[in-house]
Amino acid sequence: MFCGKCGTKNEAGAKFCEKCGAKLEETEKTKKQPKKENKAIKNAKEKVQKLPKKAKIGLGIGIVIIIAAIIALAILLNNPVKKVEDYLTSYYNNYEEGYGNDELIKIGDILRSNKNDKDALNSISNQISKTINNWVKNFNKSYEDEEELEEEFQKVYGVLKEIYSYFNGLEYVLTYEDYYAYYGELYDLYNSKENYFKAVDSEDDYEKYNYYSKVIESDSYYKKANEFVSNYLKEELEELKNGAEELTNLGENATNEEMLNAYIAQVEYLEDNRYKNSVDLSTTEEYQKLYDNAVLKVVEYTKAYASELETNLETNNVMDMIDNSMEVLEYDSEEYKELEELKSSYEEKLPDSLVSKYLVSSTSGSNDSSYRITIEDKEYDSYISFSFEGETVNRVYRLNNEYKTFKATIVRGPDWDADFKGEIVIYGDDKELYRSGEITKTGELKSEINIDVTDVDDLKIEFVTESEPDGWSNFYIYLVEPYLYK
């Protein structure tokens, strides 16, 4: 650089002349020339500068989104879950008999590289399950013919078998339980669809029915198959429905007991008439609806009648009633279990039998038993009996002030002599609580006993009579099912 005043040459970059001390200034030659800008870039900048402010903002956002998408894609491509999904898809799409297992090897490598990351392994396992579920789901579709069905079944089954075999039931890939569950689902669908095609090809309606009726409900062909089955059995089902409904058409004033017995009869009727001309009607939706409704009604009226008996202090009859209802239900069904629970709840509410209480005293001619007895073709589970001795006979039981109600039924024994008569009188701690009135062979008998025994310690039952048979006899008066309620 030369001094403009004295002409002395100075070092480049000097600010003052080393000879005269004048201030040095850069000449055009020594000034740094700006780098020539690329024409395309220059044009782009000029275009951007000319854009409105809002457009510039939008452009900036777009660039950010593109950069974020590129980063997300890079992450996704390196995601082990996505890699496993891609390898499984590739293996399935290219699979055929004898196909190699390169994709399975790669999946194994991914599992090993993540062996210490439980979260990653669980995510991979979930993706594998999702992918296999989709294979099975996609198998349940329509096919052109049995040949295409067979080909697809062999492919899905073959892929599952190879994966299970290669990983040997590894927890994160395909366990023993999952493999056989998938296989079972596939096999059931395969058989179902095979029956559908056999039905389509058959020219005999009865044969068509047999094949169509074997199409399972989960099959995509089920709706078509069931339409044929229903139409084929339309008349038989209508007849069955009318017969079933007739049994329960009792009117609005029917009691719970009557309705229960009617629906029990309906269940039995449906079971007895499920076959028509060797065809099982129970495979149809119409039959199943009738049957399911009848079963639900049995449960409903069993509960209602049980509540009614409990209100009327007839809890002892509840158990037999529930047993009768359970007899018509399928063992271990949900409805059967429901009535089992109901029965169990009433076991705690059962009354005590008077004959199980402490016997304070008794006279000759009186007896009791907890064994069943049949009188005039009717069975009772316990009883107290009094014979005609020509004088009053009695029995006294200790209640210990534990009960509120005593119930029993008076029953005349068979073969009474027309002249025999007597009367039942009951005392609570020497206080008269009940008197039956005179009992004869043919006279009107108010047989039901229902008395309050609250705070009673000793209960005394007398049979007052002057009748005496000529010689030995079986002429008895009975108090059957004598129950105490707390």
Residue 445's contacts (CB-CB under 8 Å, 6 or more residues apart) are 410, 412, 436, 439
- Name the least confident of 187-196, 339-348, 395-404, 450-459: 339-348
Q: How confident is the model at residue 285 (pLDDT cuts 50, 70, 90)?
A: confident
pLDDT of res. 348:
78
The helix/strand/coil state of 116 is: coil
Q: Give the separation between CA 66 and CA 55, rounded to whole angstroms.
A: 16
- Name the least confident of 71-80, 208-217, 341-350: 71-80
**CA distance readout (Å), 271 to 182, 295, 326, 329:** 34, 11, 15, 11
pLDDT of res. 258:
96
Average pLDDT, the chain: 87
pLDDT (average), residues 37-62: 59
SS3 content of the chain, % helix, strand, coil (to 5): 50, 15, 35
pLDDT of res. 70:
45
- Name the least confident of 24-33, 133-142, 217-226, 296-305: 24-33
CATH number of 352-485: 2.60.120.1060
pLDDT of res. 19:
67
Residue 450: pLDDT above 70? yes
pLDDT (average), residues 55-82: 58
- Name the least confident of 46-50, 255-259, 476-480: 46-50
Q: Give the separation between CA 260 and CA 272, rounded to whole angstroms.
A: 18
pLDDT of res. 302:
96
Residue 77: pLDDT above 60? no
Residue 424: pLDDT above 90? yes
**CA distance readout (Å), 35 to 32, 38, 39, 40, 338:** 9, 9, 12, 15, 92
Model confidence pLDDT, tens digit, residues 100-142: 899 999 999 999 999 888 999 999 999 999 999 999 999 999 9
Count of CB atoms within 10 A of residue 49's CB? 8
**Sign of the CA dihedral running 204, 207, 213, 216:** negative
Residue 43: pLDDT above 80? no
Q: How confident is the model at residue 51 (pLDDT cuts 50, 70, 90)?
A: low
| 157 close to 186: Cβ distance less than 8 angstroms | yes
Q: How confident is the model at residue 422 (pLDDT cuts 50, 70, 90)?
A: very high
Q: How confident is the model at residue 29 (pLDDT cuts 50, 70, 90)?
A: very low
Model confidence pLDDT, tens digit, residues 288-321: 999 999 999 999 999 999 999 988 878 878 988 9
pLDDT of res. 54:
60
Count of CB atoms within 10 A of residue 306's CB? 26
Which DSSP category does 34 fall into? P
Q: Give the separation between CA 433 and CA 285, rounded to whole angstroms.
A: 60
Tokens of 471: 């010689």
pLDDT (average), residues 454-474: 86
Residue 32: pLDDT above 80? no
Residue 26: pLDDT above 50? yes
pLDDT (average), residues 225-254: 92
pLDDT (average), residues 317-326: 92
pLDDT (average), residues 396-413: 94
**Domain spans, the chain:** 1-32, 57-232, 234-347, 352-485
Q: Give the separation between CA 469 and CA 390, rounded to whole angstroms.
A: 8
- Name the least confident of 38-47, 82-91, 234-243: 38-47
Q: How confident is the model at residue 339 (pLDDT cuts 50, 70, 90)?
A: very high
Q: How far apart are the first and last CA of the chain?
A: 127
Q: How confident is the model at residue 72 (pLDDT cuts 50, 70, 90)?
A: very low
The structure's pTM equals: 0.49
pLDDT (average), residues 224-253: 91
* Higher pLDDT pick, 122 / 418: 122
pLDDT of res. 52:
67
Which DSSP category does 4 fall into? T
pLDDT of res. 472:
60
Residue 170: pLDDT above 90? no
Q: What percent of the chain has pLDDT over 70?
A: 87
Q: Give the separation between CA 187 and CA 238, rounded to whole angstroms.
A: 35
pLDDT of res. 230:
83
Tokens of 209: 């029915």
